[in-house]
A and B are shown apart, each in its own frame.
Chain A
Amino acid sequence: MRASLVLPLFLLASACDEGVEEPPFERGAEPAYSPEAPVARRLTYDQYQNTVADLFGEGILIPGSLEPDTRVSGLYAVGASVTSISALGVERYESAAFDVAEQVLADPTRRARLGSCSPGTVRDDACAAELIANLGPAAWRRPLTDEESARLVTIAGDAAEALGGFDAGFTYAVAALLQSPHFLFRPEVGELGEDGVRRYTAWELATRLSFFLWDGPPDEELRAVAASGALLTDAELATQVDRLLADARARRGLRAFVSDMLQLADLDSLTKDPTIFVYTSAGLGASAREQTLLDAESLVLDEDADLRKLLTSTDTHLDRTLAALYDVPAPAREGFGATRLPSSGGRRGFLGQASFLALQAHATSTSVTLRGKFIREVLLCQNLPSPPAGLNTAIPEASEDLRTMRERVAQHLEDPSCASCHQVMDPIGLGLENFDGVGRWREEENGVVIDPSGQLDQETFADAWELGGTLAAHEDFGPCVNRTLFRYATGRTEADAEQPLVDWHADGLQESGYRLRFLMRDVALGPAFRVVGEVQ
């Protein structure tokens, strides 16, 4: 446990002077911060989709595949800072850009949003320039230079003449905007202030905020305070962060973070043998993800409650698919409804959800190792070594003597070279053996009553229900969510020199009563979001 320091009075006073709402509790002074070099993130698939929707309105179809997102250090958000665009990706982005542009120009409502000028001739550079002046800064999240605008006007004009229509020509300017690295990447490099501190520019800061909190681009108001530079003041920054968190798009942003942290995108390719798991179905992965995301939304954004309840609450959201799987009444005829799981059912929190239980399992069986590993690595941020090469990794097959997974694993763990690692994973996973490979409750395995008791570090638990509580109370859980959020927000793993700041945010999370909404605000207002190191 970390001791919380008393906030010096002068800091509190200065914060109040500038209109920043102080936290509802005392906290330690923000540590000195040594900034890191900037990284340019590539838009993820979801961010591309969200950006198109925000720029041109909902409902535009984009191709099902763009450049694949890559998970680095567990997060797509970090992968976005190291991956490039392949030759195939260039093709796909080109095709997508024209697909989007054609849909925008073909739809009178979307077309009207681009601007009001009526082209006088097939080639009308003035009108094209007006449309580009409207769309360009929204697409590139900064004002265009004169040279850039002129280049796009020329593209539109040349295409208009070749194809015999203004809109046909302007399609090419839109496609040029959407294929540009200024659109596909988020270059945020900062500029040196008069005080010798290098800070993100107002436009860069606006972009960081909106992608962090909305998983999409700045809206008109955010662009306005970026253009005026007002966003660089503490007061306006806080105003905007609170506005963004109160906006409906914060749901999209929260869902993006939760999906990334819990690897929920993998549910798209959930593979289960339907002859073994009769409650599996083609839509199970999507339903499972939605349950977890709806629970997170209501807990974090509607209730602003203790994050740890995600591990212990019986309040949840189910559709008919999941209600059947969990053997409870469906709360809604169509789609999802809020409901409360029976307190006697043994199932509560995220560890009782198919998004975890089915994903962290095999196609035809459970996996005590995968489940234990996920809890260690993703929920507690504890690193586990890879298995050594040259090891016989076989778990003994089920037999008369080894009927349950517990019995089979026990023999596996007699081999000391296996035990050194599996001892920290498998006993946790054994606590979840009452849930089969898709998350259906079961009392027995091969005719033997399952013993779900176990131990997580120093704490013993009787079953999965208790494991949820043990995990929620684990001292590493809050700091782990904090570290993951910091990485998600900054798009990189923290440097050693940043550890004091990461710890400071973790303390804030704890002092706030484990409110993730507070932490998101805290990180958005924190120095890692505003100050940047030299380009290297």
Chain B
Amino acid sequence: MSPIWRPGVVGVGPRTRKPRVGAPPSRRGFLRGMMQGSAVFVGLPLLERMLNGNGTALACGGAIPKRFGLFFWGNGNNPTRWVPATDGADYALSEQLAPLQNVKAKMSVVTGLSVKVPNLLPHTSGAGGLLTGMAPLSSDGNETFAGPTIDQVVAAEVGGDSLYPSIQTAATDANGQSYNGPNSQNPPETDPYTLYERLFGASFREPGEEAVVDPTLGLRRSVLDSVSTDIVSLQSRLGAADKARLDQHLTGVRDLETRLARLEEDPPSLEACSRPESEPLASYPDEEGRPQISARSRAMIDMLAMAFACDQTRVFGHYVCDPVSNNLFPGASAGHHNLTHDEGGDQPEVNAITLQIVTELAYLLERFDSVVEADGTLLDNCCILGCSEVSLGQTHSLDDMPIVLGGGLCGTLRTGIHYRSYTGDNASSLMLSILRGMDILATSFGSEDAYTESGLSGIEV
């Protein structure tokens, strides 16, 4: 029996790198062979994608794509310690935002926005209301979002050109907050090593390297093609709700087929792209009953930065922790959610946790800002939306939501300011501004009380 070789594009195998020994020959090697070993260099389309129409400049939004990332944490903040004292360009970061000092010029703080959906389901109303602009659905104990979350709205428009429509990651054992629609969630990868195998495993190619040549890619595609046939034939026998569920399955199957086909193409020639210098650890075990939230988060952020730089994806969702999650943060005497409700006074322990989370956001923004891309940095070409599902966790408040916008999205979003709404503006307007900044033609965001046709002009350039 001949060995069955598959590239490690799917990342759930044993925790060892798949050996390159015995792997099928690369396409360049194959071409070399055709030329009888003579010193023939088969050229790659160097820099082709980095040049704009005139071949002169590196254009953000053109050859350099615009990208969107969601940095989410559960259980909120404390507005009195979060909101900077003054607004506008010349403002000082507040106590809870202090860790962002190094990237202050490359981000904006947005305060005073309200999630306008009825606050009937603690935490879920805020999460669904903010990220979808719609009141979440609830029946008989089943709570789910009513529509797609902002990351998936973006991914549906811009995700098709990259290897993955979106990548979802979580630094704790979280379900994430990414929905395609009701009961259709995009679960995050919670294990850094598995994420590494998916993104930078055996099938990853740096710019300038040869594309994967592997007969099994085509065979796997023919299997997926058969699965698609099965899905379509099964749909004809099922009711409307089950048909929709299988539509989602079919979308995933076709995504994977496309991804396998792209592996046979030359990798995009993106200057900022390279294989990460180090692999994450094989595991991040709890220490004294506490998850290694910071180490896990940073390992994932490092990979997400390169996943953007290498155009493997243009959208991510990264979750430090879920709404209602009860992680034991370092130094805390009780679980996160417990503390938000039970800790008295001005909640010093909750404050310390919020600071730890904002520190991880700062790490993300600084890491992305360290990647040189075109005539700026990766961060300059992104919009990173940092947010939580409530403001004050103790009361599940949906007013004065904690929002940080990192990166200027190729100069479409204002940076370096504290924008404060004094009228409790609709948080959906911010989402609409982000969509427009991403060059997505959207006339509105949200529904009913959270519906808007107006962007948040104060943060638009």
**Chain B contacts with A in 326-361, Cβ cutoff 8 A:** 326-328, 333-335, 338, 341-344
Distance, CA A106 to CA B1, complexed state (A) = 9
Say whether B122 contacts A394, CB under 8 Å: no
Are A67 and B1 also in contact (CB < 8 A) when A72-B141, A94-B220, A390-B396 are? no
Instruction: Judge whether A498 is part of the interface by a CB distance below 8 angstroms.
Output: no
Q: A37-B239, A84-B248, A155-B219 are in contact. List 9 more A-B contacts (CB 8 A).
A: A86-B180, A87-B256, A91-B252, A92-B12, A94-B223, A163-B2, A164-B2, A363-B338, A493-B140
Say whether B140 contacts A90, CB under 8 Å: no
Which residue in B121, B165, B215, B334 is a CB contact (below 8 Å) of A362?
A: B334
Say whether B289 contacts A394, CB under 8 Å: no
Instruction: Judge whether A518 is part of the interface by a CB distance below 8 angstroms.
Output: no
**Chain A contacts with B in 56-93, Cβ cutoff 8 A:** 63-65, 67-68, 70, 72-74, 78-79, 82-92
Q: A116 to chain B: which residues have CB within 8 Å?
A: none
Which residue in A67, A90, A148, A163 is a CB contact (below 8 Å) of B215?
A: A163
Are A165 and B2 also in contact (CB < 8 A) when A73-B141, A74-B141, A158-B219 are? yes
Distance, CA A106 to CA B290, complexed state (A) = 40
Which residue in A92, A102, A394 is a CB contact (below 8 Å) of B344?
A: A394
The 6 closest A-B pairs by CB, nearest first: A90-B252, A63-B12, A95-B10, A389-B119, A84-B248, A84-B245
Nearest chain A residue, comparing its CB with the CB of B167: A88
Are A152 and B226 also in contact (CB < 8 A) when A87-B186, A365-B334 are? yes
Nearest chain B residue, comparing its CB with the CB of A281: B289
Say whether B219 contacts A536, CB under 8 Å: no
Q: How far is the CB of B114 from chain A (nearest CB, A)?
A: 12
Q: A536 to chain B: which residues have CB within 8 Å?
A: 239-241
Distance, CA A181 to CA B234, complexed state (A) = 8
Binary B-proximity of A28-68 (CB < 8 A = 1, otherwise 0): 00000000011110000000000000000000000111011
Instruction: Judge whether A460 is part of the interface by a CB distance below 8 angstroms.
Output: no
Which residue in B189, B242, B286, B333 is a CB contact (below 8 Å) of A40?
A: B242
Say whether B234 contacts A272, CB under 8 Å: no
Instruction: Judge whether A7 is part of the interface by a CB distance below 8 angstroms.
Output: no
Binary B-proximity of A368-402 (CB < 8 A = 1, otherwise 0): 00000000000000010011011111111100000
Q: B164 to chain A: which residues have CB within 8 Å?
A: 87
Instruction: Judge whether A172 is part of the interface by a CB distance below 8 angstroms.
Output: yes
Distance, CA A79 to CA B141, complexed state (A) = 11
Q: How far is the CB of A342 from chain B (nearest CB, A)?
A: 30
Which residue in A79, A86, A95, A364 is a CB contact (below 8 Å) of B186?
A: A86
Instruction: Judge whether B385 is part of the interface by a CB distance below 8 angstroms.
Output: no
Distance, CA A152 to CA B342, complexed state (A) = 59
Which residue in B142, B175, B185, B288 is a CB contact (below 8 Å) of A73?
A: B142
Instruction: Judge whether A420 is part of the interface by a CB distance below 8 angstroms.
Output: no
Residue pairs across A and B with Cβ atoms less than 8 A apart, 25 shown, are A40-B242, A65-B191, A74-B141, A84-B248, A86-B187, A87-B164, A88-B168, A88-B189, A91-B9, A91-B198, A155-B219, A155-B226, A162-B218, A167-B1, A168-B4, A187-B237, A187-B238, A363-B334, A389-B122, A389-B395, A392-B394, A392-B395, A397-B342, A536-B239, A536-B241
Q: How far is the CB of B303 from chain A (nearest CB, A)?
A: 15
Instruction: Judge whether A182 is part of the interface by a CB distance below 8 angstroms.
Output: yes
Q: How far is the CB of A412 from chain B (nearest CB, A)?
A: 10
Distance, CA A84 to CA B180, complexed state (A) = 10
Say whether B227 contacts A389, CB under 8 Å: no
Say whether A181 contacts B397, CB under 8 Å: no
Binary B-proximity of A151-172 (CB < 8 A = 1, otherwise 0): 1100100110011111110011
Distance, CA A65 to CA B234, complexed state (A) = 26
Which residue in B6, B239, B338, B342 is a CB contact (below 8 Å) of A98?
A: B6
Q: How far is the CB of A110 from chain B (nearest CB, A)?
A: 14
Say whether B344 contacts A90, CB under 8 Å: no
Q: How far is the CB of B161 from chain A (nearest CB, A)?
A: 15
Say whether B326 contacts A362, CB under 8 Å: yes
Instruction: Judge whether A455 is part of the interface by a CB distance below 8 angstroms.
Output: no
Distance, CA A166 to CA B333, complexed state (A) = 60
Say whether A90 contacts B256, CB under 8 Å: yes
Which residue in A40, A78, A91 is a CB contact (below 8 Å) of B256?
A: A91
Say whether A181 contacts B184, CB under 8 Å: no
Instruction: Judge whether A117 is part of the interface by a CB distance below 8 angstroms.
Output: no
Instruction: Judge whether B177 is part of the interface by a CB distance below 8 angstroms.
Output: no
Q: How far is the CB of A44 from chain B (nearest CB, A)?
A: 14
Instruction: Judge whether B229 is part of the interface by a CB distance below 8 angstroms.
Output: yes
Nearest chain B residue, comparing its CB with the CB of A385: B120
Q: A95 to chain B: which residues have CB within 8 Å?
A: 10-13
Instruction: Judge whether B224 is part of the interface by a CB distance below 8 angstroms.
Output: yes
Are A73 and B140 also in contact (CB < 8 A) when A39-B242, A172-B219 are? yes
Distance, CA A162 to CA B289, complexed state (A) = 50
Which residue in A83, A189, A362, A393 is a CB contact (below 8 Å) of B183?
A: A83
Distance, CA A83 to CA B227, complexed state (A) = 19
Distance, CA A368 to CA B19, complexed state (A) = 53
Instruction: Judge whether B253 is part of the interface by a CB distance below 8 angstroms.
Output: yes
Q: How far is the CB of B115 from chain A (nearest CB, A)?
A: 11
Instruction: Judge whether A176 is part of the interface by a CB distance below 8 angstroms.
Output: yes
Say whether B222 contacts A364, CB under 8 Å: no
Instruction: Judge whether B367 is part of the interface by a CB distance below 8 angstroms.
Output: no
**Chain A contacts with B in 380-433, Cβ cutoff 8 A:** 383, 386-387, 389-397
Say whether A181 contacts B239, CB under 8 Å: no
Are A180 and B141 also in contact (CB < 8 A) when A63-B12, A92-B12, A271-B326 are? no
Q: A155 to chain B: which residues have CB within 8 Å?
A: 219, 222-223, 226
Q: B121 to chain A: which residues have CB within 8 Å?
A: 386
Q: A180 to chain B: which residues have CB within 8 Å?
A: 226-227, 230
Are A86 and B252 also in contact (CB < 8 A) when A105-B1, A389-B398 are? yes
Q: A167 to chain B: which residues have CB within 8 Å?
A: 1
Distance, CA A450 to CA B110, complexed state (A) = 49
Instruction: Judge whether B87 is part of the interface by a CB distance below 8 angstroms.
Output: no
Instruction: Judge whether A441 is part of the interface by a CB distance below 8 angstroms.
Output: no
Instruction: Judge whether B173 is part of the interface by a CB distance below 8 angstroms.
Output: yes
Q: A148 to chain B: which residues have CB within 8 Å?
A: 230
Say whether B175 contacts A68, CB under 8 Å: yes
Say whether A390 contacts B397, CB under 8 Å: yes
Instruction: Judge whether A344 is part of the interface by a CB distance below 8 angstroms.
Output: no
**Chain A contacts with B in 76-135, Cβ cutoff 8 A:** 78-79, 82-92, 94-96, 98-99, 102, 105-106
Say whether A396 contacts B344, CB under 8 Å: yes
Instruction: Judge whether A275 is part of the interface by a CB distance below 8 angstroms.
Output: yes
Say whether B252 contacts A87, CB under 8 Å: yes
Say whether A363 contacts B335, CB under 8 Å: yes
Distance, CA A181 to CA B189, complexed state (A) = 23
Say whether B288 contacts A275, CB under 8 Å: yes
Instruction: Judge whether B246 is part of the interface by a CB distance below 8 angstroms.
Output: yes
Which residue in B10, B165, B173, B290 is a CB contact (below 8 Å) of A94?
A: B10
Q: How far is the CB of B8 from chain A (nearest CB, A)?
A: 9
Say whether B341 contacts A393, CB under 8 Å: yes
Find the residue from B230, B231, B239, B256 having the highest chain A CB count within 10 A. Answer: B230
Distance, CA A66 to CA B406, complexed state (A) = 33
Distance, CA A72 to CA B253, complexed state (A) = 25
Nearest chain B residue, comparing its CB with the CB of A189: B237
Q: How far is the CB of A192 from chain B (nearest CB, A)?
A: 13
Say whether B2 contacts A362, CB under 8 Å: no
Q: B286 to chain A: which residues have CB within 8 Å?
A: 271
Q: A524 to chain B: which residues have CB within 8 Å?
A: none
Are A176 and B227 also in contact (CB < 8 A) when A363-B289, A386-B122 are? yes
Instruction: Judge whether A263 is part of the interface by a CB distance below 8 angstroms.
Output: no
Say whether A364 contacts B333, CB under 8 Å: yes
Which residue in A65, A86, A105, A389 is a CB contact (below 8 Å) of B396?
A: A389
Instruction: Judge whether A231 is part of the interface by a CB distance below 8 angstroms.
Output: no
